[in-house]
A and B are shown apart, each in its own frame.
Chain A
Amino acid sequence: MPENIEQMEDLSSTEKDRLAQTGLEVEMKNRSGSFFQVDQDIRQAASLEKGIEVLAIGEALRKYDWLKDHYWKLVPRDKDQYTKFVADQPDPRGFVIIARKGSRTVYPLQACLFLSKTPVQHVHNLIIAEEGAELHIISGCASASYTKTGSHVGVSEFYVGKGARVTSTMIHNWGEEISVFPRSAALVEEDGVFLSNYVCMQPVRKVQMAPVAYLKGKNAIARFSSITVTTPGSYMDLGSVVHLSAEGASAELLTRAITTGGTLISRGMIEGEVGHTKGHIECKGLILRDGVIHAIPEIKGNVVDTELSHEAAVGKIARDEIEYLMSRGLDEGVATATIIRGFLDVKIAGLPDVLQKQIDAAIDAAEKSGF
């Protein structure tokens, strides 16, 4: 076990590989800023982009008094035992990203949260995109190869200003005995766009989360996509909730889930609170080996002019699809893997290429290990 991990470069190649699988660039290539936290120690917080700040949360709260208007304003401190645990920390950890009015990142900012020795890692992140700003964040969360047990509790609050665009892509690579409880919420103002992507293809003991987006401004958009493979012994309870609270607001929740023996609960909830709003939930699940995929899509309309719909399908790969590819000369295994790869191949509209490639790479890695 390494004694001192000062920077990402100090990690052993095994750990670097584990982080690379979560989309992190240890050498910062194609990245415009970085935050690196090992257990509770913040090793790095830096931005290369003008108009964008990446700070450790403690420092940020001391530096900018106005942040208190954003701190614990979207996620309630007493939401559950995990938020209470984070709120009770005397010295908060995590990052603050502030994208000033009109600024934009050419390359994504990366946030790396690495669980090494501590039993519980806690973080609290604030992401603020002011009017017209464009911000792309990739958070890679991983545990060290030698870390067998532990928990990660993360609170994230996103503020997407007028006309701003924020994408948050989270790729997880935990261990079999790690439990993870992210608690996130986003406030999206007029013409703002919030895209949240979650990818987890590796074993984990338990992940439970249900991020919430409040679309408070006219024509605000939220899109949540989740692509997961649940392995035996893994339990994932993933949901997303969107409140359509302004005219023209729209939301889409998309899930592609595979189980190879684990349990996945896919919850989705869209509430149309005012007129001229739209929402759609799509959940597709493939059961490759006996496991559970439980889709719970919910739509709730409170007014005449809200259009909400959902579709969910869970099953196996159709025999005629496999045979179709076999008739082209692929053996059954390759035919099946090719179809699965296609099933997971979701192109997320509005996501920068470099991040789409990162998602594709995570799926490729899962494909290589034979799902």
Chain B
Amino acid sequence: MLDIEDLHVEIGGKEVLHDINLHIGEGETHVLMGPNGSGKTTLLRAIMGFAGLTLTEGRITFKGHDITRIPLHERAKMGMGMLFQRPPTIAGLKLGKLLEVTSGGDLKKVEEYSQYLHMDNFLDRSINLGFSGGEIKRSEVLQLMIQKPDFVMLDEPESGVDLENISLIGNAIAKLVDKDVHIVNRKKSGLVITHTGYILDYLDADFGHVMCDGVFRCHGNPREILKVIKTSGYKECLACQKI
């Protein structure tokens, strides 16, 4: 699904991601962990193709196509999607209007999915304006359910979400990455940033990666990695010689 080779990324002339290599196969869900400011969100933004960062070296291949230089919206059209940790507020643009556009006018689907995520009362509201943490995440998941990406990147989907909403969001996200489909037939892939690991209760992840200071420090079983971080913190990862 996704191949990243020797990727180097700069922001404002300073290299923030160094020599990143990552392979995510079809039907796989990967987890990305690491301390604040380690470059996790930057990696997601580089894969999605956002402006403001420069890819100085390396290559990103998606579904067999080199997408390193192609624009953001074309990557989205090819089947990439992203759940934002802190999406912008767009005053005036109603959530329902955006979903109408992205669903190609399929209002029935918009209605069905928004009811499922308890967002039907938000369709007439400006996107993210005055939304609580949980409402923002439900809106993000709703947009992705309509978009139906083959590869979805989730930037801290559980942050700011209360316990009641986490199962709703967790189950919806599990569907986004085909967790309700038998492993043999699973086609959709995901890359999830998490600090707490709560989302892993809903989402069996196949691989885990730890990023520190813009480099991968560790690859392995996500549950094992999380256990180490929970008991010893990231200093254990930084000291680890096993890489």
Contact = CB atoms under 8 A, between A and B. Distances in A.
Contact of B147 (A328, A335, A341): A328
**Of listed B48, B76, B90, residue having the most chain A CB within 10 A:** B90
Given A323-B72, A342-B93, A345-B94, A330 B88 contact: no
A356 to B, nearest CB: 13
Nearest to A329: B76
Given A343-B91, A345-B93, A338 B73 contact: no
Contact of A335 (B48, B73, B81): B73
Nearest to B77: A329
A342 B88 CA distance: 14
A332 interface: yes
* Interface of A: prevailing SS: helix
B93 A326 contact: no
Contacts of A346: 92
B98 interface: yes
Interface string A314-348: 00001111011111111110110011011111100
A321 B90 contact: yes
Contact of B143 (A323, A328, A341, A343): A328
Contact of B73 (A256, A321, A326, A345): A326
B190 to A, nearest CB: 16
Interface string B30-57: 0000000000000000001011000000
Given A323-B50, A324-B88, A330 B102 contact: yes
Most buried by A among B50, B92, B143: B92
- Looking at chain B, what size class is its interface with the partner chain? 20 to 34
B126 interface: yes
A284 B48 CA distance: 31
Contact of B98 (A320, A323, A325, A343): A325
Contacts of B101: 330, 334, 338
Contacts of A343: 91-93
Contacts of A330: 73, 101-102
B87 interface: yes
Given A318-B88, A328-B147, A329-B102, 15 more contacts: A256-B92, A320-B88, A324-B90, A325-B98, A326-B72, A326-B76, A327-B81, A328-B102, A330-B73, A341-B97, A342-B91, A342-B97, A342-B126, A343-B91, A345-B93
